[in-house]
Amino acid sequence: MKNLILGITIVMFAAGSVLGSDMISLPAKNGNVNFPHSKHMAIKQEKGCKACHETDKGGKISGLGKDWAHKTCKGCHETLKKGPTKCGECHKK
């Protein structure tokens, strides 16, 4: 039981440090996109991390770029009718 509680505590710590890396700046010539990561991790949706990542561990996204982002990011905002869908709402000069 003690080990179980210790284990859970460690898992919560690990999750906390991932949640800590909050705002990710995605560079774009027409204005960088400030992406609130932890806010997105907290969004309740079917695919979880895999809405954006290949695995549930996350990490670098190899296909990241204009086409991926407009399909993945904008696509989800349109589907859920939540989150920015206009150019200037994502790209900030």
Residue nearer to ligand HEC on the CB measure, 2 or 81: 81
Cβ neighbours, 10 Å, residue 19: 13
Residue nearer to ligand HEC on the CB measure, 10 or 80: 80
Compute the least distance from the CB of residue 4 to ligand HEC, in Å.
22
Compute the least distance from the CB of residue 12 to ligand HEC, in Å.
13
- List Cα–Cα distances, 6 to 2, 11, 12, 59, 81, in angstroms: 6, 9, 10, 26, 41
Tokens of 14: 């690990």
Nearest in space to 81 (alpha carbons), one of 49, 45, 42, 27: 45
Binding site for ligand HEC (CB under 6 A): 18, 21, 24, 26-30, 33, 35-37, 39-41, 43, 45, 48-49, 51-53, 57-61, 64-66, 69-70, 72-74, 76-77, 80, 82-87, 89-91
